[in-house]
Structure 1
Amino acid sequence: MASLGLSEKEQAGCRELLEFLETAELIALTDTVTNRLVHPESRQEAIHAVLVYSQSVEELLKRRKVYREIIFKYLAAQGIPVSPSSDKHVLIDRVKQYWSGQLTTCASESRERKPHAESHGERRKLPEDDIHDLGEEFCQWFFEILNSQHPLGVKSEGRWGPQHFWEDAKMKFCYNTLEKNREEYVGAEMVSLRLLSLVKEECLLFNPNLHGNGLKCAMSRHGLVLVAVAGTVHRDNVCLGIFEQIFGLISCPIMENTWKIKVVNLKIVGQNALEPGMQTEKPSIKYEANQLQELYDGKELTVFEP
């Protein structure tokens, strides 16, 4: 049976989005949409009823039982960059734009890649005698591809997306401008989207210092490669402050010479929060290699405080 108010593409999109609801929530939504006239015996029957009795995408997504978090999870799964703090109406607009074909996703770009054109950032040989070379090469790739997502950024051959992260990747983000703030994210989609939103939505550009004490690398006894880098953060032509970032990279056991991001710790300190005497021209990492190793406790990297 065709939907009374949804196009075929909207039906397909709504069906995928509704799958994120727990069964009890889905049944409750069905009762609301159908005024308890339909009594589904399965999840698929419930979803079908919701689609049939919904007059428009906006009407359905504005339902109280379609939580903001559900819409955010759906967009994340599709590779649509949105700020985690976006209001529900903003998320609904993004969904409508996506279903109308106005948005290109990171996930679709990733699927379009040819098999032999694997991301340069994922494939890395690890010289046993020189971890530093790995760290420098990784940073060159990472910040090039991240900055390329800026609305005015220089485009990169690489594709940004969750494919560069382990599924259980973790990110801790501290920023100190007028006050200290801390955020945490878990999962390849969430980590990827948060980093993307810094550049694409908040229009930040990262300028890493890959020379001298701006870059330090080490390897833990568990095989985690630790890459610590410092640099400056910019918006337009203004230097906003400095950043320090530590990555934890782990090799993929089923793909030779392949490395993905397991941990990301990012700290940004605004100009107005810098300690007296701190310079932004050549930010440096204060940790030594052995201290980087000590930061790793066997489970995850301990975040530095802002």
Structure 2
Amino acid sequence: MLNDTSRQGICEILASLDDNTLFNLAGTVTQGLLKNRINTRDEAVNAILNYSPDALSFLRRKIITREVLFAYLHAKNVSIDLPATKNDLVQKTAQIWSIQYVQEANNQADSGSISLLAEQFTRWFYAQLNKNECLNHEHFYPNVRLKIVMSNNGQVSTEVIENDPLKVVQGLYALRTNFNLFFNPNLSSEGVQGRVDPHGLVLVLVCGTLHTGATCVGVFEQVFALARDPQTDNNWKIKSSEINLKSESGVRGLPVLANSNLLALT
């Protein structure tokens, strides 16, 4: 599903395409099923937005060439190290859309809505984690700390990664891919909370279920400490995080934070 920032970026790229290219792309995205119903540029753009499952699938389309992406990034004043492959430009474009999405959440927090920031951050974070998209070391402070606690049939293992944002990202993705996990956060007010601690950090607490394919295999809870980084236009970055995962069969419904062990620690 495309967020508002990705949709805006896609529209900007589509505006640079000629009619023939745009209509061909709409036909490809819709598998030709709307060929008699797409007659205008607006209809073509809407079809592409509605039937593109995510930003990366759009950016990787053959019609979205290296030249198209380079021109888009150049117009945005985004610096690019040359030579650059199309994949480099795809990742750079997806990255700036990701950062902009977090900045939108920042603006909401500025208006006093910490709860909304927590919800938007949660949606963003697990979308990136579940799809291996865009989550990278730039989203973390250099001195970040990640603690992973796993409980499986009474056996508990703990891993701590400190002062290495790249290893934190690798650790999170390894956690997901090694066990083929899909993180399903409880996005209701009972499953996501935001608060400000005495040091000014924004704490985001979330819980949810873990899935492998169509099977629910357990539950998780996670807390993030977010802080503004004056070195990157005062954007929010992750300063620390702790995640607890528990294998569990017969889970009935989404867990709630009222039963969270991490809640008592914040």
Q: Which band: TM-score by shorter chain?
A: 0.5 to 0.7
The structure whose residues are more often helix, as a share, is: 2
CA 295–144 in structure 1, closer or farther in 2 if over 3 Å, else same: same
User: What pairs with 1:151-230 in structure 2 (closer than 5 Å)?
Assistant: 159-178=134-153, 179-186=155-162, 187-230=164-207
Report the equivalent of 1:119.
99
Runs of at least 4 residues off by over 6 Å: none
- SS of corresponding position for 1:213: coil
- How far has the Cα of 1:127 moved from its partner? 3.0
User: What pairs with 1:34-113 in structure 2 (closer than 5 Å)?
Assistant: 112-113=92-93
Question: 2 CA distance for matches of 1:262 and 1:146?
Answer: 17
Look up the equivalent residue of 1:184 and give its one-letter code. Answer: V
Question: 1 CA distance for matches of 2:206 and 2:92?
Answer: 32
Gaps of 5+ in 2: 1-85
Look up the equivalent residue of 2:158 and give its one-letter code. Answer: R
- How far has the Cα of 1:200 moved from its partner? 3.0
CA 113–268 in structure 1, closer or farther in 2 if over 3 Å, else same: same
Look up the equivalent residue of 2:198 and give its one-letter code. Answer: R
Question: 1 CA distance for matches of 2:192 and 2:115?
Answer: 8
2:116 to 121, 133, 136: 133
Look up the equivalent residue of 2:222 and give its one-letter code. Answer: Q
Larger Rg: 1
Report the equivalent of 1:282.
254
Gaps of 5+ in 1: 1-103, 150-157, 297-306
CA 253–295 in structure 1, closer or farther in 2 if over 3 Å, else same: farther
Give the RMSD, CA atoms, in angstroms.
2.9
Question: 2 CA distance for matches of 1:253 and 1:133?
Answer: 22
Question: 2 CA distance for matches of 1:121 and 1:169?
Answer: 21
Under a length normalisation based on structure 1, what TM-score does the superposition of the two structures give? 0.51
1:246 to 207, 223, 246: 223
Look up the equivalent residue of 2:189 and give its one-letter code. Answer: G
Question: 1 CA distance for matches of 2:125 and 2:254?
Answer: 19
Question: 1 CA distance for matches of 2:179 and 2:123?
Answer: 22
Task: Say whether the 8 Å CA contact 1:233–1:241 is kept in structure 2.
Answer: yes
Give CA-to-partner distance per residue, 1:232-269, whole Å, 9 cap, x none.
Answer: 00011110111000011111113335111111100011
Under a length normalisation based on structure 2, what TM-score does the superposition of the two structures give? 0.58
- How far has the Cα of 1:109 moved from its partner? 6.7
> How many equivalent pairs are there?
175
- SS of corresponding position for 1:119: helix
Task: Say whether the 8 Å CA contact 1:109–1:159 is kept in structure 2.
Answer: no
